[in-house]
Amino acid sequence: MRGSFRRLATIGALLASIVFLYGATVISTEFGNLANVIKGVLYSATQASLSALSVDDQGIINLLNSIDHAAILEYNSSITNLKLDRNRYLHHAKFLITDSVVIFGSMNFTRSSLYEDLNDGIVFYDREVIEVFEDIFNKLWTGNTPKAMYKTKIGTFYLSPFMDLEDVIYKTLEKTKSEVDIAIYAFTDMNVLGALKYLTSKGVRVRIAMDDWSERYIGKYPLEQFEVKVFKDVTLHHKFVIVDGSILLTGSANLTESAFRKNFEVIFLTRDKEIIHQYKEIFDLLWGE
């Protein structure tokens, strides 16, 4: 399975590195450029702020420690100027802010996440988006609460546990007319499952690419009305939903009760056609089309 992704890596990496999508570029394992883009951004940066569950990639650690930086993590690391998040929620949002970009997505900054698992992210060049993430990080660093929602020209960012992300998912799915494509690592939320079943009763096509971690949970329930592809030989760590090819939800949140209401998560909702097109390409590669 991974071989087919690697054969596309050269073309995908070239496209992702030169196509600027209204101030954003999509990166992914399928395009073959996650680690290189992140390290390239850090190599040219003079300052950086990092939010992640964990960081163990030594190259990223060395680059961060060589510049003015700060990091908030759930788990300890050899990064200096580090704060461990000891709030009641799990610190699960993953983003990197530098002088000129934000990288935001599903990936942890670990060797397994960057080199082995299937992950995605968006590199934002838009100053408005950079300022959103700077505000989020600065508030967390100083012990204050960020806003629950940040609207920008390119889309809207929603933060858990400061708002109920399940409601965002519901309202997005309610708009579905013909198809929903989902790529997800952890899917355990029964309310979302029920909403998807209701959509299929109205003739909506639902395709779910999931990691076998989810199969052990959601797989216990009848899934005949969906088209399902389970990944067993590689960890599918994506977390995105495409509705009718015109709405995208992506970010750090899995489809779980914890992600919706308990963890610190950030998800992004956009109608940007070029960004959605890139995510549709990722899904088609996963699906084998």
Catalytic residue among 91, 92, 237, 238: 237
**Phi–psi pair at 77, nearest 5 degrees:** -155, 170
HSE-up of residue 36 (Cα within 13 Å, Cβ side): 13
* Cα atoms in the Cβ-side hemisphere of radius 13 Å centred on 82: 16
Which residue is catalytic, options 244, 272, 280, 284? 244
Q: How far apart are CA 270 and CA 58, in angstroms?
A: 33
Catalytic residue (choose from 85, 211, 239, 272): 239
94 in active site: no
Tokens of 125: 């060049």
Distance CA 81, CA 74 (A): 14
- Residue closest to 272 by CA, chosen among 165, 181, 163, 153: 153
In three state form, how does the secondary structure of 122-158 look?
EEECCHHHHHHHHHHHHHHHCCCCCCCEEECCCCEEE
Query: Does the active-site annotation cover 239?
Result: yes
Tell me, yes or no, if 237 is annotated catalytic: yes
Q: How far is CA 192 from CA 132, 230, 242, in A?
A: 28, 18, 14
What single letter denotes the amino acid at residue 67? Answer: I
Residue 158's H or E segment, with its range, is: strand 156-160
Q: How far apart are CA 159 and CA 18, in angstroms?
A: 30
At 61 the three-state DSSP class reads helix
- Active-site annotation, residues: 237, 239, 244
